[in-house]
Chains A and B, each alone.
Chain A
Amino acid sequence: MSEIRNYTMNFGPQHPAAHGVLRLVLEMDGEVIQRVDPHIGLLHRGTEKLAESKPYNQSIGYMDRLDYVSMMCNEHAYVRAIEELLGVAVPVRAQYIRTMFDEITRILNHLLWLGAHALDVGAMTVFLYAFREREDLMDCYEAASGARLHATYYRPGGVYRDLPDSMPKYQPSKWHDQGDVDAMNEARQGSLLDFIWDFTERFPQKVDDYETLLTDNRIWKQRTVGIGVVSPERALQLGFTGPMLRGSGVEWDLRKKQPYAMYDQMDFDIPVGTDGDCYDRYLVRMEEFRQSNGIIRQCVEWLRSNPGPVISDNHKITPPSREDMKGGMESLIHHFKLFTEGYCINAGEVYAAVEAPKGEFGIYMISDGANKPYRVKIRAPGFAHLSALDEMCRGHMLADLVAVIGTQDIVFGEIDR
């Protein structure tokens, strides 16, 4: 028998637990990991350079495609950077809509994380339940913006359009007869806000359901408790943000500490962990489901009783209405200039960050006075988290690597940019 025990193993880039295109070169001692060398960049599209070659508004759609499970949060950081450079005021109703959709996005993201994480560790069922709820939330996206995923809904100065008064309804087909369709359309009789309200009524019960599957599950605990432990000091050193940092017990949330949009008006709590292991990060995110649900309810209540404009009326940066454009010369010129040349921004630089579901998502933008950004740097939370994979996995078994990748909530759209 050979006595050689150390060997190098390749993991990915096509591997179901790699959450996309992650290639790992692992140095193994038997089944114990000695070193992890992630090779990233397989999804590198040069988003930052593309953004530098286009007028400001044409890059909003690229932001959706960065972290493609928390689309609107990425847009939010990008439009906030532009708004800070321009100094433009955003209507309050637009701020509430943004707050609400940021939280819908957080639930969307955490549902995908929960399903994928549980699936990696071996619990198949959660994935199916999580995707059932995602469907409802993607319908909200579709009703507001027209797209289920890549919304391009936030614009500098507000949001693209107001929330619709009616929800699209299912039609009978050869798979669903009238009775099925009536049941499916029951929550869709009113406006989008009614539909979201109905969702928030149902959702806490669903979170309890997920928890009965996992929280006290013996196998789940064996696979996550004490795995990938990060102390608060190391979490700061490693550049952790969001639930990764809170799981280690650092109470830090940009929504509370450096509030943007309407978060300073919202009543919610920040869950923090104690041990900094995969299980604590799981608990933190489960509680964030409930807190997000509460924030959405507060936003819906306000939005129902406060109609108003949802986008700035400064037509140098926002398009005029079709009606004005057809009748007025000035509006026609504004429209033409906006959609051909765009707008120029005074020279300057800004860093705008939002608390995306994965952590701090920031846009560093430099303008030299042109109609295109001079430099855009995207600060993706996953990039810093993945760089700590080596430290978090050393000394663990190969199967724990998959649990750590799951707990980091990796999405390659934002890491490779």
Chain B
Amino acid sequence: MAAFEAILAETQQRFGDHLLDATVSNGELTLTIERNAVTEVCRELRDNPVFAFEQLIDLCGVDFADFGKGGPAPVEPQPRFAVVYHLLSIANNRRIRVRAHLDEEQPAIESVVPIWRVADWFEREAFDLFGIIFEGHSDLRRILTDYGFIGHPFRKDFPLTGRVEMRYDADKGRVVYQPVTIEPRTLVPRVIREEPR
């Protein structure tokens, strides 16, 4: 905790109301911020010498739809989606995680491409896999899935086996799409133990 005191004080002073939560766990600092303030906060994190996070290491979407389901404790309702930014400061040799929660009806957030150029493909990936819209992104196309793919495969309500399969149809003389014929199966059920270890 001590290692993060200076940076925590600075975040509280700089971001004030935009900062919803700041926690340290496993030696990592996580800031939860207001979704509308993402550009402002990220620009400050990059340019303020106390932070100096020159590099965006990773950007990813998370779907919290099934989080904690089936466990002994009641699940607290929380926004369905989140965008998580992992930042690295080379000058200060420090990492930070920034998270913004998005609701299900409107999973949209401002793009950080103007701040870190590398966000371009990471945002396309989060859009492709989770359907999160990045406002201001100039080229928000699908990136990992097939041309003409329907749906967002990493959402928790998307089946692991997918929805369509592809095969060569000898009669039509071309490749056709059809609903999947394999049965979804679970070899090891998901369990949450009250005493994990």
Residues of A within 8 A of B (CB): 40-41, 44, 46, 48-50, 53-55, 58, 84-86, 236-239, 241, 250, 252, 257-258, 316-317, 340-351, 353, 360, 362, 364, 366, 368-372, 374-375, 377, 379, 383-384, 386-388, 391, 416-417
Q: Given the complex, which residues of B lie within 8 Å of A341, measured CB to CB? A: 188, 191
What are 10 A-B pairs with beta-carbon distances under 8 A? A50-B160, A86-B197, A237-B54, A348-B26, A350-B26, A351-B58, A353-B57, A362-B86, A368-B71, A388-B118
Q: Are B145 and A44 in contact (CB under 8 A)?
A: yes
B52-84 with Cβ < 8 A to chain A: 54-58, 60, 62-63, 66-68, 70-71, 84
Q: Are A41 and B90 in contact (CB under 8 A)?
A: no
How distant is A313 from chain B, measured CB to nearest CB, in Å? 14
Q: How many A-B residue pairs have CB under 8 A?
A: 131
Q: Are A48 and B90 in contact (CB under 8 A)?
A: no
Q: Given the complex, which residues of A lie within 8 Å of B90, measured CB to CB? A: 236, 250, 252
Q: Complex: how many Å from CA A342 to CA B190?
A: 10
Q: Are B67 and A351 in contact (CB under 8 A)?
A: no
Known: A44-B144, A237-B118. A362 touches B197 (CB 8 A): no
**Chain A minimum-CB-distance residue to B117:** A237
Q: Are B160 and A49 in contact (CB under 8 A)?
A: yes
**Chain A minimum-CB-distance residue to B158:** A49
**Chain B minimum-CB-distance residue to A81:** B26
How distant is A408 from chain B, measured CB to nearest CB, in Å? 14
B5-54 with Cβ < 8 A to chain A: 25-26, 28, 30, 54
Q: Mark B178-197, 1 if CB is under 8 A from A, else 0.
A: 00000000111011110011
Q: Given the complex, which residues of A lie within 8 Å of B116, measured CB to CB? A: 237, 239
Known: A86-B197, A351-B95. A370 touches B28 (CB 8 A): no
Known: A349-B30, A362-B58, A387-B118. A369 touches B192 (CB 8 A): yes
Q: Are A344 and B196 in contact (CB under 8 A)?
A: yes
How distant is A254 from chain B, measured CB to nearest CB, in Å? 10
Q: Are B196 and A49 in contact (CB under 8 A)?
A: no
Q: Complex: how many Å from CA A379 to CA B57?
A: 8
Residues of B within 8 A of A (CB): 25-26, 28, 30, 54-58, 60, 62-63, 66-68, 70-71, 84, 86, 90, 93, 95, 97, 116-118, 120-122, 142-146, 153-154, 160, 186-188, 190-193, 196-197
Beyond the given pairs A371-B191, A383-B121, 11 more chain A to chain B contacts, judged by CB atoms under 8 angstroms and listed by A's residue number, are A46-B154, A48-B154, A86-B197, A239-B116, A239-B118, A316-B197, A346-B197, A362-B57, A364-B84, A364-B86, A366-B62
Chain B at the A interface: SS class: loop
Q: Complex: how many Å from CA A258 to CA B88?
A: 11
Known: A345-B196, A370-B192. A239 touches B57 (CB 8 A): yes
Q: Given the complex, which residues of A lie within 8 Å of B93, measured CB to CB? A: 257-258
Q: Given the complex, which residues of A lie within 8 Å of B95, measured CB to CB? A: 351
Q: Which of A349, A369, A391 contacts B68 (CB 8 A)?
A: A369
**Chain B minimum-CB-distance residue to A41:** B144
Q: Complex: how many Å from CA A399 to CA B101?
A: 45
Q: Are B117 and A346 in contact (CB under 8 A)?
A: no
Q: Are B188 and A49 in contact (CB under 8 A)?
A: no
Q: Complex: how many Å from CA A87 to CA B94?
A: 21
How distant is A323 from chain B, measured CB to nearest CB, in Å? 24
Q: Are B25 and A348 in contact (CB under 8 A)?
A: yes
Q: Given the complex, which residues of A lie within 8 Å of B117, measured CB to CB? A: 237-239, 388, 391
Q: Which of A85, A317, A347, A384 has the most CB of B within 10 A?
A: A384
Q: Which of A239, A375, A377 has the most CB of B within 10 A?
A: A239
Closest 6 CB pairs of A and B: A239-B118, A41-B144, A387-B121, A344-B196, A379-B58, A377-B60
**Chain B minimum-CB-distance residue to A250:** B90
Q: Are B121 and A379 in contact (CB under 8 A)?
A: no
**Chain B minimum-CB-distance residue to A343:** B197
How distant is A320 from chain B, measured CB to nearest CB, in Å? 16
How distant is A374 from chain B, measured CB to nearest CB, in Å? 6
Q: Complex: how many Å from CA A239 to CA B191?
A: 37
Q: Are B60 and A416 in contact (CB under 8 A)?
A: no
Q: Complex: how many Å from CA A351 to CA B28?
A: 8
Q: Are A371 and B25 in contact (CB under 8 A)?
A: no
Q: Given the complex, which residues of A lie within 8 Å of B187, measured CB to CB? A: 54
